Amino acid sequence: MSRRKEWMLNIIGILLVAIFLFPVYWMIITAFKNQSEIFQSTPTFWPQNFQLESFAEILKDNVFQYFLNSLIISSLATIIVLILAVPSAYGLARFNVKGKGAMLLLFLVTQMLPATVILTPLFIVFNNLSLLNTYWGPVLACATLGVPFSVLILRTFFVGIPKALEEAARIDGCGRIRTFLSIILPISYPSIVVCGAISFFFSWGDLIFSLTFNRNQDLWPLTAGIYNAIGRYGIEWNDLMAFATISVLPVIIIFVILQKQLVKGLVSGSVK
């Protein structure tokens, strides 16, 4: 690649990143503006007078409980997804399971359906199981959509792992389970991190499941808290943006910490 072409690609990449990150930047700086500056005819790209009243205002609300609820729901959903998806994907990759093609097709179809399609069936099931107004309603609902996605991603990775590794482990005396735990899982760590992170992000951003299955606001996550704040604060956009800023901080922190594993997991299996 010529140096000129490399520079052009870098510039295009920077511009694309700036375009996608600009809404996040605008959200954060709006949280530090006062109401008059937000509605100025000439927008300001940096707060003229930093103010923290918006954050102080939302901290008076039940924001810590919302945050804890989001953490509980996202963590439990991610754990369930990984516990079910990892062995399922490995089994579909290594064993000739009857109806495997139909299973994979069914998993793929579920990714094309909007979340609203399964709301009514899940509501009926959770109501019969007395899971409404508990953490388990949104947890299981998020896991329901997260498991098929993770199975499809992990199965592709498991298929690319040479069978010779497992055969060598069996020659050394390892059984199927020990081979899976000692050989396959360490190799698959980047892909498992990707599936876990995506499941966590999806559950963290859930709104419709929590509003549908929980009428008790003490069990609502941050996203539902923001939804509730819209009616309470009206046009107090700086308060709403402060609420939104707090809600996205954990996602940004997790992404920064796991960025190497995420990139490695996303490209794993694409290069021989």
| Domain extent at residue 41 | 1-51
End-to-end C-alpha distance for the chain, whole angstroms: 22
In this structure, the answer to whether residues 156 and 37 fall within a common structural domain is: no
DSSP state at residue 184: I
Dist CA 222 CA 3 (whole Å): 46
Per-residue pLDDT of the chain (272 residues; tens, 9 = 90+): 678 888 898 899 999 989 988 988 888 888 888 877 888 878 888 888 888 887 877 777 778 888 899 999 999 999 999 999 999 998 888 888 787 788 888 888 877 878 788 888 899 999 999 899 999 999 999 998 889 888 888 888 888 888 888 888 888 888 888 888 888 888 888 888 888 888 998 899 888 898 889 888 888 888 887 776 665 555 677 778 888 888 888 888 887 787 776 666 555 554 44
In this structure, the answer to whether residues 24 and 132 fall within a common structural domain is: no
143-176: buried (b, 16+ CB within 10 Å) or exposed (e) per residue?
bbbbbbbbbbbbbebbeebeeeebeebeeeebee
Structural domain contains residue 100 = yes
In this structure, the answer to whether residues 212 and 85 fall within a common structural domain is: yes
pLDDT at residue 264 in the model:
63
In this structure, the answer to whether residues 131 and 263 fall within a common structural domain is: yes
The number of folded domains in the chain is 2
Structural domain contains residue 19 = yes
Dist CA 27 CA 63 (whole Å): 18
pLDDT at residue 241 in the model:
84
In this structure, the answer to whether residues 44 and 17 fall within a common structural domain is: yes
Structural domain contains residue 74 = yes
Residue 113 CB burial class (10 angstroms; 0-12, 13-18, ≥19) = exposed
Q: Which of 13, 35, 51 is the last residue of a domain?
A: 51
Structural domain contains residue 272 = no
In this structure, the answer to whether residues 153 and 236 fall within a common structural domain is: yes
Instruction: Tell me the residue length of the chain.
Output: 272
Q: Which of 16, 35, 51 is the last residue of a domain?
A: 51
Structural domain contains residue 204 = yes
pLDDT at residue 231 in the model:
57
Structural domain contains residue 244 = yes
In this structure, the answer to whether residues 41 and 75 fall within a common structural domain is: no
| CATH number of domain containing 59 | 1.10.3720.10
Long-range contacts of 262-271 (CB under 8 A, 24+ apart): 262/190, 262/193, 262/194, 262/197, 264/190, 265/190, 265/191, 265/192, 265/193, 265/194, 265/195, 266/194, 268/157, 268/160, 268/190, 268/191, 269/156, 269/157, 269/160, 269/191
In this structure, the answer to whether residues 61 and 6 fall within a common structural domain is: no
Dist CA 216 CA 231 (whole Å): 17
In this structure, the answer to whether residues 90 and 164 fall within a common structural domain is: yes
Structural domain contains residue 73 = yes
pTM strictly above 0.85: no
Q: Using N-to-C axis directions, what is the helix angle for 189-204 and 63-94, rounded to 10°?
A: 140
Structural domain contains residue 22 = yes
In this structure, the answer to whether residues 18 and 113 fall within a common structural domain is: no
In this structure, the answer to whether residues 177 and 42 fall within a common structural domain is: no
In this structure, the answer to whether residues 181 and 207 fall within a common structural domain is: yes
Nearest to 132 by CA among 64, 72, 200, 211: 211
